[in-house]
Each structure stands twice: as structure tokens, then as C-alpha cells.
Amino acid sequence: MHNFSYQNGELYAEDVPLATIAQQVGTPSYVYSQATLERHFKVFDQAFEDLDHLVCFAVKANSSQAVIATLAHLGAGADIVSGGELVRGMAAGVPADRIVYSGVGKSEAEMQAALEAGILMFNLESAQELVALNEVAGRMGLKAPVSLRVNPDVDAQTHPKITTGLSKNKFGLDVDLAFKQYQEAANLPNLQLKGVSCHIGSQLTKVDPFADALERLGVLIGRLRGAGIELELLDLGGGLGITYDQEEPPSPAQYAQALKEQAARLGLKLVLEPGRVIVGNAGILLCRVLFTKDTPTKHFVIVDAGMNDLVRPAMYDSYQAIWPVKQDGGGSKVISDVVGPICETGDFLARDRELPDLVRGELIAVMSAGAYGFSMASTYNSRPRVAEVMVSGGRWSVVRRRETVEELMRGERLPEWME
């Protein structure tokens, strides 16, 4: 569900014609619907309403201040994976005690910043990380609230690059090892054992892997209880998929249904870390056709956005729907490759796609670009990062202005011997 739709033959974001945004802000631009964002968060949150729970938005999916603040107003916490995301989350109004900090490689400076802020919990992923955090907290005279991230070794049945819960993946601790590490951690004076966590992957379209992971965590929680270790929080991570093409992922209600009974039995407060399912379909990438060209084998539509702006097709071979801003009048279709200006063969947004005959100057919307879109953008080919626009009803606002080339070079200098 989202709020991008055709009205009188023209594509709108809520009540704003995308053509108006393109004209005033230029292209490419990311455009977000605040109504979609709010709805997605509420539907997800309400799916768990009969359980004690906290929904921590995974900031890496979309780190825009306007997006995080929209969710924070609805009571969202944040799942962060860096010191930068800590600053962003707090600047956007997420209270520190609703922030969980995940990731395999936290630096001591990042640990210190998060301890100073007073976050809810660190999700730790290795024995050495436990020791390091214990030391940092000790130096600060604090006790760090921690969970261990378990790698439950379940197959998320998603793209290999976004599978994180298999034992060959770098994430988490295997269940038996985690049990041992909890016992060691209990002896570290500056750690407070607070919870257990997992995150098995992204863009999952079935509930079974989540339920399997929860079951394995449940066994571990039982063993820990037997060993006198009581926890408060059960963090099940994120990963619920969305519809990009023909996928039929479970709804948040179905997802919650599959987990609630088991979770309730364990008696811990549930933490959830959804990213994609909240923002994915709440954003589009608005771009313009620069040229078209035919080769002996292909029809190319060259647009002004590339893999540096939206890397998902290049990185994960992912499908992004392409909608023309001026509604297709039902004319002839052309099998097209939609490609960007970057000097890489991997720079494409769509391949062998049946599309209307797009012409030079025409606007298109790359759909479902709200998650892992702008947040993964780079400046490769010295392309400044694009503008971001938030729409709410008939209002719209540039929530991040287009970067300039001067900003790209800021901080650079020649070596002294060349000046």
C-alpha cells in the first residue's frame, strides 16, 4: 500500500503532482509520502499491540531526518549500526532509551558515545566485543546494557547478499557459543545482561524462518534461565519483505500472528527492528529520460539517475517497478533497459522490461525506492547526491537539498609540496 497514484492521467504523491516537484526541485529526486510512512508504522506497531513491545526503526534503511522524525513522533525507537546513526537518530528526536545498537564492528569511540547517550541496549556479536565494551564502560564508571546477537542458523530464503542468519554469515554468535558467552558476560562487572537478539536477513517473504529463529532463541532463553540468567528484552530484528514485483510477503498482522504466541510464552518485552517494510514503498526516485538509443540487441532508455543514486538493481539484481509520470495511454510497448549515466555496465535500474515507449525529456518514477535508496547513495562519478522531498497531503517540502560539486570537494587539498 502506498500513496503514489494516477489522477487525471498524471502520477501524484498524495495530492501533489510529481511533475510539479520535478519542475521546481529538478531531477533526480527522492520523493517520500508521509501518509504512507505513518500508515506503515502504525499498522506494524498495532499488529503487536497486545504484547509489551517496542518498534525500533532500522535507521540504515532510510536515515533522512524527516523520515526518522516522522516515525519518532509516532513513538518509534531506532535500531542503529554506527555512531553516525546514533547522532542522526537522536537529532531527529528518538529518545536514547529507545535506541538499540546492532552491528559486528563497533569502535570504542562509538561505544563510548552510545554509553554517554544512555541507549537501551547494545546487541553484541563477538566475545572480543563483550570484553571491549566492558572495558569502555568500566573507564566511564557505567554498566552497559547488552544483549548477545544469536545467529540461529536458519535460512531466510532471500537474496544471499541480504541473508544474515546462516552460520556461514559474519553476524551473531552460534547458539551454543552464545550460551557460554552469556555466562562469561555475567562475570564482567561493567555489563548488564539485558536481552537476546537476532536478525536473520532482509526482504523475507515467508514467516517460517522468523518463527524458527524465535523457537531457537526460546530454547536458549530456557537454558539461560536454568543457569540463573534472567533477561528482559527479546529483540527479533527486522527483515519483513515488501512487494517490489510479484512478491506476496506476509502482512505485519500475519507476521505478528506467527510470533506472538511463542513470544508471549517467553514473557520478555519484544523489540522489533523493521526497516524496509516501513519505508520501502513510501518513497520513489523521480528521474527524467535523457536519451533513448537502439542497438542491434537492445532498446536503451538512458535516465538521469544511476547506480550511485539507487544501487539496489546493480547490487542485488533487484526489481524496481518503473512508472511513467504521464500515464501510459495504452500505446505500443517496448522491451527496454533503463540505464543511468554511470560508466559501469552494472549501472541499470531495469532490464528487459516491457515499458511504454518512453521519450526524451519524459519523467519516470522508480517505485519502491524508499528503503536502501538514498541511504546507500554514493557520489561515484563525482555525482552530487540528489534532493529528497517529503509530501504530506497537498504540501511538500525539500527535506534535503541537492548536494553541490563544491560540497563534494570540501575537505580535499593538494599535498604541501604541490601548493
Ligand X SMILES: *Cc1c(COP(=O)(O)O)cnc(C)c1O
List residues with catalytic annotation.
Answer: 343
Output 32 or 396, the one with its CB closest to ligand X. 32
What is the C-alpha to C-alpha distance for residues 170 and 216, in angstroms, rounded to an integer?
18
Q: Which parts of 77-136 interact with ligand X (CB under 6 A)?
A: 79, 81, 102
Output the smallest distance, CB 18 to ligand X, in A.
25
The number of angstroms, rounded, from the C-alpha of 200 to the middle of its chain's C-alpha atoms is 14
Determine if residue 26 is left, alpha or beta; phi over 0 gives left, psi from -120 to 50 gives alpha, anything else beta. Answer: left
* Span near ligand X by CB under 6 A; candidates 176-184, 271-279, 287-295, 382-390: 271-279
- Could you count the other beta carbons within 10 Å of the beta carbon of residue 183? 14
- Give the three cell numbers for residue 244: 517490489
What is the C-alpha to C-alpha distance for residues 35 and 357, in angstroms, rounded to an integer?
32
Q: How many residues bind ligand X (CB under 6 A)?
A: 18
Output the smallest distance, CB 199 to ligand X, in A.
4
The number of angstroms, rounded, from the C-alpha of 69 to the middle of its chain's C-alpha atoms is 15
The number of angstroms, rounded, from the C-alpha of 316 to the middle of its chain's C-alpha atoms is 14
Q: Do the strands 387-392 and 395-400 form a parallel or antiparallel pair, or are they unpaired?
A: antiparallel
Instruction: Map grid coordinates 514503498 to a residue.
Output: 281
- 3 state DSSP class of 41: helix
Please name which of 39, 56, 49 lies closest in space to residue 120, comparing C-alpha atoms.
Answer: 56
* Span near ligand X by CB under 6 A; candidates 20-28, 236-244, 259-267, 322-330: 236-244
Q: Residues near 48 by Cβ (< 8 Å), separated by ≥ 6?
A: 55, 256, 260, 270, 272
* Span near ligand X by CB under 6 A; candidates 125-133, 174-182, 269-277, 396-404: 269-277
Are 122 and 130 in contact by the 8 Å Cβ rule? The answer is no
Output 27 or 163, the one with its CB closest to ligand X. 163
Q: Which parts of 367-396 interact with ligand X (CB under 6 A)?
A: 371
Output 283 or 356, the one with its CB closest to ligand X. 283
* Span near ligand X by CB under 6 A; candidates 217-225, 237-245, 288-296, 407-415: 237-245
- Please, which residues bridge with residue 350 across strands? 338
Among 125, 273, 337, 388, binds ligand X (CB under 6 A): 273
Output 35 or 279, the one with its CB closest to ligand X. 279
What is the C-alpha to C-alpha distance for residues 192 and 207, in angstroms, rounded to an integer?
32
Q: Residues near 195 by Cβ (< 8 Å), separated by ≥ 6?
A: 121, 146, 147, 231, 232, 233, 234, 235, 268, 271
- Please, which residues bridge with residue 13 across strands? 4, 16
Output 12 or 32, the one with its CB closest to ligand X. 32
* Span near ligand X by CB under 6 A; candidates 64-72, 110-118, 270-278, 334-342: 270-278
- Give the three cell numbers for residue 389: 522531498
Output the smallest distance, CB 197 to ligand X, in A.
8
**202 in contact with ligand X (CB under 6 A):** yes
Output 58 or 364, the one with its CB closest to ligand X. 58
- Give the three cell numbers for residue 237: 530484528
Output the smallest distance, CB 217 to ligand X, in A.
14
Are 260 and 50 in contact by the 8 Å Cβ rule? The answer is yes
**String marking each residue 276-315 x if it binds ligand X according to CB under 6 A:** xx--------------------------------------
**String marking each residue 338-357 x if it binds ligand X according to CB under 6 A:** --------------------
Are 36 and 1 in contact by the 8 Å Cβ rule? The answer is yes
* Span near ligand X by CB under 6 A; candidates 267-275, 312-320, 326-334, 373-381: 267-275
Q: Which parts of 317-336 interact with ligand X (CB under 6 A)?
A: none
**250 in contact with ligand X (CB under 6 A):** no
Question: What torsion do the CA atoms of 128, 215, 78, 283 make, to the nearest 10 degrees?
Answer: 120
Output 83 or 274, the one with its CB closest to ligand X. 274
Output 90 or 240, the one with its CB closest to ligand X. 240
Output the smallest distance, CB 56 to ligand X, in A.
8
**String marking each residue 32-61 x if it binds ligand X according to CB under 6 A:** --------------------------x-xx
Binding residues for ligand X, rule: CB under 6 A, are 58, 60-61, 79, 81, 102, 199, 202, 237-240, 273-277, 371
